[in-house]
A and B are shown apart, each in its own frame.
Chain A
Amino acid sequence: MKRDFPLGRVLVIVGFVAVVFLAGGFGLSQMARRQWRTQPTFQVRALFPSIGGLEVGHRARVQGIDAGLVEQVIPPQAPGGAVEVVLKIDLRLRELVRADARAKIVAEGLVGAKVVEIVPGRPDAPVLASDGQIAAEPVTLPSDLFSQAQSALARIDKAAAAAERGLAETTALVESIRKGEGTIGKLARDDELYHRLNQVARRGDRALSALDDNLKALKETWPLSRYFDRRAYLDRERLLFRPNAERKSRTFPTDEIFETDRAVLTPHGRAKLDEFAGWFKGNGRPSSELVIAAFTSDLASQDHDLAEILTQAQADAVRDYLIAKHAISSAGWFRSRKVAAVGFGAQIPRATPAIALDAPAKRIEIIVFTPST
């Protein structure tokens, strides 16, 4: 069966095939370019303790510029050795990669792909030799961060336990002194007691300072810093100073809502707080935050530290009551608001507005901060 082909039809067929091949070839050459197959490149090596899931074909960047690929991943010869990563980098960026350049592996956004980032060295260092090796920074994995946080918490626990033991011993000593025949006499008579007291004081000091250090470190560790921020353990005066928020406050004399020098709410106090909750429902916004500040006057009978403990307990009691009874810490579905409770003791915070200075010195102040933006 013979068919004859008019030239026009043959040309259409040949043209079609040519166009498709051209398109395919163009696409392929672009793909090859994107993988640095056609441009001149040079090789860089880096030794990583762990490569965090990096694979051949992952991208490499020089100072953030997309500049090459991971060409090869060479496992260490023996356990404990470093993983060698061979990178293929665009030759045009050769000048940027100096002998003191550093490589690090970073995760890229949503996709979670890994990228090797090369930080160029100082300009006075020599240009890295071809196939030269650069320093590598260890990979920080989120799991590492968590284990760090965990060990910090364990240290805190230990310090807290030590502090508690010290406190218990002090109490026992004080008790025995109180029951005994006078402090001076007993201390003078009992050498051993004096020793123990000294020891306890020293150990307590050490434990507390360790605790303080640990807490400070912990507050700056990422997943926990939020917790501390929320519970407002940070600088307490800062809580009262918020230049960008509107401040509304209600003041209650402490004697009206608490039993005298205790952190137990009276029925009258509960009624007052119920009334406050009603007021807040009308005046609060979802973005409002609450600070419950408890103050006391500087009574001669009261020690500074004890005053602070008392006011803290009182502020906590108010917070607990408002949260338990009125769910004040919830700001709608799936949203919570910060409710901080702080006992200031006899301290007068610097950020106190002039009006508040006229209020009674022994007072519970509930302040509503609403961001003005």
Chain B
Amino acid sequence: MYARALGLLDAVIDQAWFTVRSLAALPAALARRPGEVVWQFERVAVSGFGVTAAAGLCMGAAAWMQTYRMLAAHGAESTLPSFLAAAMLVEIGPLMAGLLVAARMGAGLAAELGTMVLNEEIDARGAFGVDVVASLVAPRAIACLAAVPLLTIVIDAGAIAGGLLAESAAGRMSPGLYWSKSLIFLKMTDVVLATFKTTVFGFLIATTACWTGLNTGRSTEDVGRAAIRGVVWSVTAVFVSNVLLIPIIQAAVATLGWRY
């Protein structure tokens, strides 16, 4: 038990150090390996567009259907778009985008790097004096942290469109009214910061998954296990960092006195 806790602590410290090294390597990677970054970005963002848009649409429609019934019981269904948009754009959209990317890339990156370890490709790079963090991890981290905010916008748009479709199908509001009511509670500060905080999600997903992949044992079974752990740990990283980011953002907004 004691040894296990110590092992976990060791892993956490190692991962934290790995994260810091990746962060430091980001600018160099962007300058020296832009092609690699774009290729990874396509893998994260463009390929992830379909599932993200579908998730947004379905969530918007589902939330509409559940909430409409409750609000209509009290004759307050006209407030639905305002609540729905506020909930989606400020909290659920960014979080869901992070989770979707964590699910796709957590497994993908951990398995990819795990296989590289298995093929002794990582060792070969080390022998040639190529830094693994700079050449492999940093471009993937940049791709993820750029992709998640964009996918957040996709999921937000999808959620509003889903709610709007549900309203046109079963509600009584015109699309124009729905849209203008959606905007009532939204503050630009909230929405913009909620969207940009997902860069942190993206970065943590990439580094967590890469670290998991690079610390795999040398067997096919270990690669499978690394894929699972990659998803688990990157999803956890998204949730935990979300909780930590919210008070930080709120404190920053209060300090800077942003009101809109």
Known: A3-B35, A12-B46, A13-B41. A35 touches B188 (CB 8 A): yes
B74 at the interface (CB under 8 A from A): yes
Q: How far is the CA of A56 from the CA of B153 in the complex (A)?
A: 27
**Are B36 and A31 touching (Cβ within 8 A)?**
no
Known: A37-B260, A57-B260, A109-B76. A31 touches B39 (CB 8 A): no
A335 at the interface (CB under 8 A from B): no
**Are A32 and B188 touching (Cβ within 8 A)?**
yes
**Are B180 and A34 touching (Cβ within 8 A)?**
yes
A135 to chain B, nearest CB (A): 26
**Are B79 and A27 touching (Cβ within 8 A)?**
no
Interface string of A9-52 (1 = CB under 8 A from B): 11011001100100110011011101101000000000000000
**Are B157 and A23 touching (Cβ within 8 A)?**
yes
Q: How far is the CA of A111 from the CA of B80 in the complex (A)?
A: 11
B26 at the interface (CB under 8 A from A): no
Most buried by B among A5, A9, A31: A31
A238 to chain B, nearest CB (A): 32
Known: A2-B35, A28-B188, A34-B180. A13 touches B153 (CB 8 A): no
**Are A35 and B46 touching (Cβ within 8 A)?**
no
A324 to chain B, nearest CB (A): 37
Residues of A near B192 (CB, < 8 A) are: 28
* B contact face: mostly helix, strand, loop, or mixed: helix
Known: A3-B36, A17-B150. A30 touches B183 (CB 8 A): yes
* Number of residues from A at the complex interface, CB < 8 A: 27
**A to B contact number (C-beta, < 8 Å):** 68
B222 to chain A, nearest CB (A): 25
* A contact face: mostly helix, strand, loop, or mixed: helix
Residues of A near B74 (CB, < 8 A) are: 110
**Are B42 and A13 touching (Cβ within 8 A)?**
yes
B49 at the interface (CB under 8 A from A): yes
Q: How far is the CA of A6 from the CA of B42 in the complex (A)?
A: 13
Q: How far is the CA of A1 from the CA of B35 in the complex (A)?
A: 9
Residues of A near B23 (CB, < 8 A) are: none
Closest to B181 in A: A34
B184 at the interface (CB under 8 A from A): yes
Closest to B151 in A: A20
Q: How far is the CA of A3 from the CA of B49 in the complex (A)?
A: 23
B191 at the interface (CB under 8 A from A): yes
B187 at the interface (CB under 8 A from A): yes
B138 at the interface (CB under 8 A from A): no
Q: How far is the CA of A17 from the CA of B38 in the complex (A)?
A: 12
Closest to A110 in B: B76
Residues of B near A59 (CB, < 8 A) are: 184
B154 at the interface (CB under 8 A from A): yes
A223 to chain B, nearest CB (A): 22
Residues of B near A27 (CB, < 8 A) are: 153, 156-157, 191
Most buried by A among B41, B183, B192: B183
Known: A13-B38, A35-B188. A24 touches B46 (CB 8 A): no
Which among A10, A13, A17, A31 is the interface contact of B186 at CB below 8 angstroms? A31
B259 at the interface (CB under 8 A from A): yes
Residues of B near A5 (CB, < 8 A) are: 35, 38-39
Most buried by A among B74, B188, B195: B188
**Are B46 and A3 touching (Cβ within 8 A)?**
no
21 contacts between A and B (CB under 8 A): A1-B135, A3-B36, A3-B39, A5-B39, A12-B46, A13-B46, A20-B153, A23-B157, A24-B195, A28-B192, A32-B260, A34-B180, A34-B183, A34-B184, A35-B187, A35-B188, A37-B188, A56-B259, A57-B259, A109-B76, A110-B74
Q: A residues engaging B (CB < 8 A)?
A: 1-3, 5, 9-10, 12-13, 16-17, 20, 23-24, 27-28, 30-32, 34-35, 37, 56-57, 59, 109-111
Q: B residues engaging A (CB < 8 A)?
A: 35-36, 38-39, 41-42, 45-46, 49, 74, 76, 79, 135, 150, 153-154, 156-157, 179-180, 183-184, 186-188, 191-192, 195, 259-260
Q: Which 7 A-B pairs have the closest CB atoms?
A: A34-B183, A24-B153, A20-B150, A110-B76, A23-B157, A16-B46, A20-B153
